[in-house]
A = this chain, B = another copy of it.
Amino acid sequence: MDQQKFNALLAELKELDYSKMYNEDFFLTWEKSDDELKAVWTVADLLRTLREGNISTKVFDSGLGISIFRDNSTRTRFSFASACNLLGLEVQDLDEGKSQIAHGETVRETANMISFMADVIGIRDDMYIGKGNAYMHAVSDAVQEGNRDGVLEQRPTLVNLQCDIDHPTQCMADMAHLIHQFGGMENLKGKKVAMTWAYSPSYGKPLSVPQGVIGLFTRLGMDVVLAHPEGYEVMSEVEEVAKANAAKSGGSFTKVKTMEEAFRDADIVYPKSWAPFAAMEERTDLYGKGDFDGIHELEQRLLAQNASHKDWTCSEEMMKLTKNGKALYLHCLPADITGVSCEAGEVDASVFDRYRVPLYQQASFKPYVIAAMILLSKFPHPVQLLQKLAEQGKERKKEN
């Protein structure tokens, strides 16, 4: 193991105050302090250093990690499973139907019935505006009650694997990537980030990524620019968060009307499709009423609306506008690549190709970020715990 790197990271961790994360959930990044976010990145790096050094990070001898996905999800599912495995938890998936919006009694009961041995619950519920985050809170409240009432021996903590408001594991992984690419958090100050809408032939992609990005990146003193065609507004509450963050961090948050303006001199670009917030609200209502004709009609309308903005694409021409033509390209994957996965999409194939390695590296932080969130929530003394793991040096894979 790289002991020097490990020691340096541990020294950083010692300086931070993350005591309130113990026995708590992780819902939205803006509900956490700067120190708490730094603790996540630092613990993620510590866990990665241990694993790269073939040292076991199993802090649970047994126990379950429950995953609840209301939408298909290969990437996040495997990231969560990897994080749980890394710490010694076995994953059990709860498959709830997509269409069914659970509530009240059912949520309370199910949350307890699946949590008898659960240390953590990871939920992805991004489909319905105003519902996903609320559902997560309902689950968390239920298991806290269950723990208080002697039903559950432990209080399972919750990790938001994507809701209608934020996608904290994605955005924290994105930022971990930036910290590594730019050689430290301090180097991100003053960097320009373009979070822009981009055309995709598909429909209804969640808003949690753009919202999560503006809600998080503005905390690092960056100049965050949001751009989208008219009608593709994100939640105004999150824009308020971004503004407040920027004011505090010494960065900025601005909105512009074209991709060109956003890309100009940008250090980092994050072009990505999403659905209009208002349309998602409408869809949520239609689902609530079971109005499937209405849903179909809405879908057609949105696809037509999308199609009028095909020029919003991360082309080579667009990339030339960025700082020295070399901005770092980010995407949460999978991207709609023009000429590869679709006729016209979010990004040119040649741009995507050039950034494939960093894109995969970006994704590779997610399991560690999730594991760090779990560890900081489940253990009161992470510094001592990680030190103990390093000292014991139990092999992850037997050597001989």
Contact residues of A between 33 and 67, Cβ < 8 Å to B: 48, 51-52, 56-64
Contacts of A379 in B (CB 8 A): 397-398, 400
A59 to B54, CA, bound (A): 12
Contacts of A398 in B (CB 8 A): 59-60, 379, 385, 388
- Residue of B at shortest CB range from A149? B357
Supposing A62-B56, A74-B94 touch, asked if A340 and B105 sit within 8 A by C-beta, the answer is yes
Contact across chains for A85 and B114 when beta carbons are under 8 A apart: no
User: Taking the complex as formed, is A360 at the interface, i.e. its CB lies under 8 A from any CB of chain B?
Assistant: yes
Question: Which single member of B85, B337, B357 contacts A117 (CB below 8 Å)?
Answer: B85
Contacts of A86 in B (CB 8 A): 62, 117
Interface-lining segment among A228-236, A277-285, A301-309, A361-369: A361-369
Contacts of A109 in B (CB 8 A): 333-334, 360
Supposing A116-B78, A149-B357, A357-B149 touch, asked if A63 and B337 sit within 8 A by C-beta, the answer is no
Number of A positions contacting B (CB below 8 A): 69
Contacts of A119 in B (CB 8 A): 397
| CB of A267, distance to nearest CB on chain B (Å) | 22
A397 to B337, CA, bound (A): 45
Contacts of A395 in B (CB 8 A): 61
Question: Which single member of B59, B106, B151, B366 contacts A334 (CB below 8 Å)?
Answer: B106
A109 to B385, CA, bound (A): 34
Contacts of A105 in B (CB 8 A): 337, 340-341, 352
Contacts of A381 in B (CB 8 A): 400
User: Taking the complex as formed, is A152 at the interface, i.e. its CB lies under 8 A from any CB of chain B?
Assistant: yes
A340 to B278, CA, bound (A): 31
Contact across chains for B56 and A364 when beta carbons are under 8 A apart: no
Contact across chains for B367 and A116 when beta carbons are under 8 A apart: yes
A109 to B63, CA, bound (A): 31
Contacts of A243 in B (CB 8 A): none
Contacts of A51 in B (CB 8 A): 153
- Residue of B at shortest CB range from A90? B85
Max chain B CB contacts within 10 Å: which of A62, A119, A149, A378?
Answer: A62
A337 to B360, CA, bound (A): 49
Contact across chains for B62 and A58 when beta carbons are under 8 A apart: yes
| CB of A338, distance to nearest CB on chain B (Å) | 12
Contact with B along A63-76 (1 / 0, CB 8 A): 11000000000110
Contact across chains for A385 and B400 when beta carbons are under 8 A apart: yes
| CB of A78, distance to nearest CB on chain B (Å) | 5
Top 3 nearest A-B pairs (CB, nearest first) are A384-B400, A82-B117, A151-B360
**Residue ranges of A at the interface with B (Cβ–Cβ < 8 Å):** 48, 51-52, 56-64, 74-75, 78-79, 81-82, 85-86, 88, 90-92, 94, 104-106, 108-110, 112-114, 116-117, 119, 146, 149-153, 333-334, 337, 340-341, 352, 356-357, 360-361, 363-364, 366-367, 378-379, 381, 384-385, 388, 394-398, 400
Enumerate 17 A-B pairs (CB-CB under 8 Å) in ascending A order: A57-B62, A58-B61, A58-B62, A60-B398, A61-B394, A61-B396, A74-B94, A79-B116, A91-B92, A104-B340, A109-B334, A112-B360, A146-B360, A151-B363, A151-B364, A378-B397, A385-B398
